[in-house]
Structure 1
């Protein structure tokens, strides 16, 4: 049973009417949850925290912090609706010091794509930035489907409104991983990636992570955003990060 079949079966158990189920499934976007999953036999897809493996020409002192890396060859890219690279590694960096007070996507983070076969070395942060390093552990992947809610900026708001009563218990059972690839952004204050994209300058969500800031007790929902055409071109230079802080 694939992720879509699992979602369909779970929706039927929650009593979603058949005439609404088809509409809902068109909005249920695939995403890959990456989490520690200790004791699981799910495949290792990446690493959370620790020190990044970077090519010699990529400068990095330790900030923005290294959040996680993903082995694209271990990702079921054909199951997602965004065009991730089929090999190489994606490395995600973000400001984990304190909340950004700049509204909307910022440059307080980046994504580095390291093509397969590229020579890299492990980088340690500077003494000044060492406190922003998260403890490392492997990330295992689980593919699922996730529905938007009333807070998402979705073109088909009527289906979202109708499906909303059936999602309440589903949300309790669904958690973001330490990193998620694809799917919808988490909405705390605003939706950073309305769906579907409507023009070449619109952003789609590449990845999402939740973490606690180092210099403040606030937590953060960070979303790495990219234009679909630049993702297809393997151009990660213009990735933006959206930060939404919460208690």
Structure 2
């Protein structure tokens, strides 16, 4: 199976193939359906694809004239119009650009008022530096022009117990169905990957929402810093947001968490 054969496959078709693969391995249908119910759709962006460019990472951010200088280093600019419609369960804007900012401060999590900015489509913009004068510099520039979408699942701690073994077998069946994927650099939506701590749980613990609010924290994006981030050997940058704030394009209460090995 090649990368491109399943990139544009519908979720329903992929689910049918997953069920068939799980059944061939003797996994009970009830366990398969329970596993599917925990899945969340996500978009993944990678380098060296066929184009067009979906996001740019590193360098200086494209900011509208007169926009205040961001307080953190520029991470990525995502072209929302280039994302597959309905590929996540997030209320993302249909067009325009989302600009992501974060400093490489591992193990820290905090509400940051300008960690994400939305620039409406057609807004004249020009690249200029971000961050304070004493910031460590900019992340290296890269273009992400391979876009694919698939389900993601909550992280499970690896144990030798029976439940963990069942989850591992289900994950293996899923990997067989979707085939090899490019090494992604930016994730939108879905469940977070992590080295140490779950960024969504960190946001819930640090900034609990009112019991009667009915809202929830959710992962907006994750960036793998890797070689583009000289300050960290291996870093995961997470942006976590209230769903209602994302729908309203309100980013002043967004939570940023940096995880590192």
Please point out which of 129, 149, 167 is paired with 1:143: 149
Spell out, residue by residue over 1:94-152, the C-alpha distance to the aligned partner (whole angstroms, 9 max, x if none): 113x424x4x4443970110011222112145875473231232432111111223249
Asked if 1 retains the 8 angstrom alpha-carbon contact of 2:57 and 2:143, the reply is yes
Instruction: Show structure 2 runs of 5+ residues with no match.
Output: 1-8, 202-208
Matches for 1:166-205 after TM superposition, within 5 Å: 166-168=170-172, 170=175, 177-193=184-200, 199-200=213-214, 202-205=216-219
**Aligned: 1:31 with 2:45:** no
Which protein has the larger Cα radius of gyration, Structure 1 or Structure 2? 2
Matches within 5 A, 1:10-25: 10=18, 12-13=20-21, 15=25, 16-25=27-36
- List, as ranges, runs of 4+ consecutive aligned residues in structure 1 with deviation greater than 6 Å: none
The residue aligned with 2:206 is none
For the 8 Å contact 1:30–1:183, the answer to whether it is kept is: yes
Count of matched residue pairs? 232
Where do residues 61-80 of structure 1 align in structure 2 (5 Å cutoff)?
A: 64-80=72-88
Match of 1:211 among 225, 236, 241: 225
Choose which of 85, 91, 99 in structure 1 pairs with 2:93.
85
| TM-score normalised per structure 2 | 0.74
| Alpha-carbon distance between aligned partners in 1 of 2:142 and 2:122, rounded to the nearest angstrom | 23
CA distance in 2, matches of 1:218, 1:108: 27
Deviations 1:133-172 (A, max 9, x none): 31232432111111223249xxxxxx98843432257399
Residue 6 of structure 2 corresponds to which residue in structure 1?
none
Structure 2 residue aligned with 1:236: 251
1:46-61 to structure 2, matched below 5 A, reads: 46-60=55-69
Query: Contact conserved, 2:40 with 2:153, CA < 8 A, in 1?
Result: yes
Q: 1: CA distance between counterparts of 2:110 and 2:181?
A: 26
Give RMSD over aligned pairs.
3.3
Classify 1:160/1:145 alpha carbon distance in 2 versus 1 (closer, same or farther; 3 Å). farther
Matched residue, 1:223: 238
Deviation, 1:77, is 3.6
Question: TM-score normalised to the size of structure 1?
Answer: 0.78
Q: For residues 140 and 160 of structure 1, do their structure 2 counterparts lie closer, same or farther at Cα, with a shift above 3 Å needed? A: same
